[in-house]
Amino acid sequence: MTEYRIDDLARLAGTTVRNVRVYQDRGLLPGPRKQGRTGWYSESHLARLKLIGRLLDRGYTFATIGELLRAVQQGWRVEDLLGLEEEIAQPWSDERPARLSIVELRRMFGSDASKSVLKRGCEIGLLERTGASVLVHSPRLLTAGKDLVAAGIPIAAVLDLAEALQRDMKVVADRFVEVISTHVLPAEGEPLTPSTEQISEIAALIHHLRPHAAQAVDATFSQAMNSAMATAFDRAATRLTEGRAKASGDPD
């Protein structure tokens, strides 16, 4: 069996000696076989090191990599786990973020786009400031906000609405996830068995649920808006009738 010193191991894995030691300190890479003062690394060390590099390149944190490696030790295949993670990480909308300059943003909102407004937009996650530009995570939401401001609604109220909607939608999303967790995954405290079929079924369910979840939210919201607008119209009609009666001097 081929063995390597730490510098050769790092070179073959496309990393540095310092990184090898960091991974060992974090428990991601087992220690070497010691012979005197020299540490010897095996082919399994090299394979593990290459896998860690792949996962880091994909943006995984050390904590997540540690969980994946523990799952592999329990019998899961890392390819299946990554396939499930890719399905989960797929965006639930085809909307793409857009980058606007501060000048363009102020052109849309005029004097309402003050520094404090921009700061709050960043604080609630609608915008991300980078120098003289901002990353707009949802251009459709920004357009809706622009139209509300143009209709005379104060921008502070629009931001309040956006923040409230974020909280409400988190509740809705948590409910969908809870349904999957409750009815698809084993009960809390029961271990997940290393079954490729089980992982594939969960990934397929998420893929199938994706369009239906969005449609369910849209349909439910439409029904709620129909009811809310009808109630609001009734109240407005009552006020209008009362106003006319008072203006004409009719008794109550």
Establish if 79 belongs to a structural domain: no
> Where are any strands of DSSP class E within 102-166?
127-130, 133-136
Least confident of 28-37, 138-147, 149-158, 182-191: 182-191
Establish if 81 belongs to a structural domain: no
- 218 and 111 fall within a common domain: yes
Establish if 189 belongs to a structural domain: yes
Establish if 80 belongs to a structural domain: no
* Model confidence band, residue 171 (pLDDT cutoffs 50, 70, 90): very high
Beta bridge partners of 133: 101, 130
Q: Does residue 142 contact residue 97 with C-beta atoms inside 8 Å?
A: no
The domain of 28 spans 6-73
CATH at 34: 1.10.1660.10
Q: What is the pLDDT of residue 89?
A: 58
- 57 and 162 fall within a common domain: no
Q: What is the pLDDT of residue 90?
A: 65
- 42 and 131 fall within a common domain: no
Q: Does residue 99 contact residue 91 with C-beta atoms inside 8 Å?
A: no
User: How confident is the model over 11-62, as pLDDT tens digits?
Assistant: 999 999 999 999 999 999 999 999 998 999 998 899 889 888 888 887 788 9
- 55 and 142 fall within a common domain: no
Q: What is the mean pLDDT of residues 175-193?
A: 71
Give the chain's domain count.
2
Q: What is the pLDDT of residue 124?
A: 93
User: How confident is the model over 105-136, as pLDDT tens digits?
Assistant: 988 998 888 889 999 999 999 999 888 899 99
- 143 and 61 fall within a common domain: no
Q: What is the pLDDT of residue 191?
A: 59
